Amino acid sequence: MATNRVKIGGAFELIDHHGQHVTDRTYRGRHMMIFFGFTHCRKVCPETLGKMSDVLDRIGSRAEAFAPLYITVDPERDDPPRMKEFLETNFPRFTGLTGSKEQIEAVRSAYKVFAQRAADEDDPEGYAVPHSALVYITDRSGQYLTHFNDGAPTEKVVRALQAVWES
């Protein structure tokens, strides 16, 4: 039987914002909530991380079933200390993940994430990394279940995560 389904997600090996080596298996037993972005992002990333933090607050104790992960698309600037400072200050529910350019490219490719460095005269280092803005949800074994774009209404995401938790 033929299928038109595209495989999304897969194994990864990265470093968390505490400097610990982690893999997708580290989060087995919990649903991964994955967002790709970068710490120098001025709009989409902070807004999406804020919305997902709000969603987790709204689902109460059910949030413990989810592992909120923020995977960088800018490994040159987003080392573990930078990720830690950014997340602990602003979005403490999230674990930041980084790695080598090759490791980040591999996980981006697995999740079909577009990201490309571009000149940005407003950035002190002269560049930004425009990227797709999707939040991916996996089952407890790490298999892709669904995703939301950054503009998805908060209540829709809350209902969907409650349904995932109940499944």
Binding residues for Cu cation: 41, 45, 131
Residues in CB range of 132: below 8 A, 6 or more apart? 36, 112, 113, 114, 115
Residues in CB range of 164: below 8 A, 6 or more apart? 31, 137, 139, 145, 146
Return d(Cα 24, Cα 131) in angstroms, integer.
22
Which residue numbers belong to the known binding site?
41, 45, 131
Q: 124 to each of 42, 44, 105, how far by Cα in Å?
A: 12, 18, 24
Cross-strand pairs, 16:
97
